[in-house]
A and B are shown apart, each in its own frame.
Chain A
């Protein structure tokens, strides 16, 4: 399982951040060609991002590029430029139609074969930033095997919902629940949008705890200082890991002895509990047995 607790946005026109973003230890980086870059700088940013990608120096990070929307003139040049560099995935903004994902899948396959990259390697992360996009979340997530995650929008989605930001983002409760549901139904990750106030660590923690509870696997971040907070929420505690190990070991032992039910610390443990324990170990970067994955 690929950990996607944090994805750090790096403005595509800022060499300082593009070269250093991975050093802050996010699980992934998003080199941004879309909102961070002014219209007049699209070409320059694309070239800069390509050159940084060619260096390939991102540590263990999952490297994705947020391309310009499929309703703009830039998206084809964007993918033709960045996909041959061997990135892990692209992030498509404002996805509304499963057909667009199928179209993108085809375009990516062509570029991959031409660049002699294994076809299917480039994953797709869908940003659902309109009511229609969120409504079609499941179909979008199933539109290509490349889709790795679906993510709700923030401000764009609020605008499309004809509402504004409230203190606890109540206006996004519904969309977030829908996306979590659709993602798990389709077998992809649900990754949350950014928390905009970069100085409010307490607010970030609250929101992250809440989306984790809804079933999200991670959250995009716009500032390196947000990474430790989000990781802290999404990383199981030592106590949780210990408990999960016990449960998984007991289940394995029971299975070996042909027993169905297991007892851990005097309590009966059934299948969903074992499944959750396995997931806890995966999130901690450990295999079922507790050794490093």
Chain B
């Protein structure tokens, strides 16, 4: 056992995961080795059509066998049909023991539960939520789930830590020679950012599309030379679950209050000036922060440089209004973003590698001024938990949390102080997802706690005069005073989840919940 830099006591090897590289600090692991490559191949002009009749034909042609690793992207979100269809086909073909390596899973993938229970799926490396998360937390897998950030995942792929045997890429539009795009098609999802590393590095790439068009496809995002086979299917997803129709700013007063506090902090810092770059999530508080910041940019005549990350209509409108020059889009959340990426050259698709991989010559998060992120818990050391709930169940992925926090000049965590009667500011988080050393401020309805290592921000907030400053200890004590003591989570010794930091070290582990 070793106590890592986040103060967690972690075994030196974990069954089903292997040898642990311990987390030593956010910038302490130097990159090693070279980029891993896929086998060379040739496709001569005797084969000018890569389409195959169905998934089973593609699975056979790809050489997929029991025990191999298959990957998927999550751009179709809760509307995705492809993951379930591929695993169903594998099951019918008698393939077992698969490691699935999705960029994220959604509620729709609850369908996989039966394949986990009957041994078709042995391990998931990627975010688990809802019923699969609950199943994992209760010990439903023989080997631990491995959680990686949006930057940590391409790092694992490009460095060869994870070898993808077959990547199945849902493509809203494809031609018969494997040029792919998410920008158009009835299942359009905009950016295909998370699929790029898989296309580049998987030993075999199978595109699955419900919009096969004449060669060459328009708005090509993933080019033909990465793609081995193309499978036309009836539907790759349900458009209603792929994109949300509209993005509206919340009217929930508490969320607005937290957002207002966050916006006041942003406006107080030296980053709030011409050229500011900005990322927020699409959630209630994040979007409200963006709305307040937009107001302030208009009032003070500030023009930003770029908006990053998951892109919503809100950011598209800000670019149209001239408040951003460009959008760097790894994931398009709504119809307006999908339309914009197809039409506007200033709305640029970026890959997850480009977005957040710490092991390249510089990813986009490094150029980020301000990011607003959420949390399930924060603690006295500003460590953030986004993976587990108060009952110890592992229900969420890391997303770009670690990456943007490490990259941005100003990392703000917004969270209510309590959710119901559950405190969100605690002595020590149950799981460290993002270390406190890369978090600058925690914003709640009861005030704004700035990390003491950012005295410059504390001074700037004091000077502005309207930021309700408190200390992290005050927030924790306030939460404790309101909720009383919490019963600790009871666990078995067995590790069911490994949380990697973006550099491939283990920052924390999640243990199996004790049966109630």
Contacts and interface: CB of A to CB of B under 8 A. Distances in A.
Interface of A: 19-20, 23-24, 199, 223-225
B256 A23 contact: no
B482 A224 contact: no
17 contacts: A19-B482, A20-B254, A20-B445, A23-B257, A23-B445, A23-B446, A24-B253, A24-B257, A199-B251, A223-B253, A224-B253, A224-B254, A224-B256, A224-B257, A225-B251, A225-B253, A225-B256
Interface string B475-489: 000000010000000
Contacts of B251: 199, 225
A139 B253 CA distance: 39
B336 to A, nearest CB: 24
Interface in B448-493: 482
Nearest to A199: B251
Contacts, number: 17
Contacts of A24: 253, 257
A223 B254 CA distance: 11
A23 B60 CA distance: 62
Contacts of B256: 224-225
Nearest to B481: A55
Nearest to A223: B253
A19 B416 CA distance: 13
A92 B254 CA distance: 29
A178 B251 CA distance: 35
Contacts of B254: 20, 224
Contacts of B257: 23-24, 224
A225 B445 CA distance: 14
A253 B389 CA distance: 66
A19 B482 CA distance: 9
Given A24-B257, A223-B253, 6 more contacts: A19-B482, A20-B445, A23-B257, A24-B253, A224-B257, A225-B251
A119 B445 CA distance: 36
Residue among A23, A24, A223 with max Cβ neighbours from chain B (10 Å): A23
Contacts of A19: 482
Contacts of A223: 253
A143 to B, nearest CB: 36
Interface string B66-82: 00000000000000000
Interface in B237-261: 251, 253-254, 256-257
Nearest to A226: B253
Contacts of A225: 251, 253, 256
A199 B251 CA distance: 9
Contacts of A20: 254, 445
Contacts of B253: 24, 223-225
Contacts of A224: 253-254, 256-257
A-B pairs with lowest CB-CB distance, top 7? A224-B253, A23-B445, A225-B253, A23-B257, A24-B257, A20-B445, A225-B251
A199 B446 CA distance: 25
Interface in B129-170: none
A221 B235 CA distance: 51
B207 to A, nearest CB: 46
B411 to A, nearest CB: 23
A23 B416 CA distance: 12
Contacts of B446: 23
Contacts of A199: 251
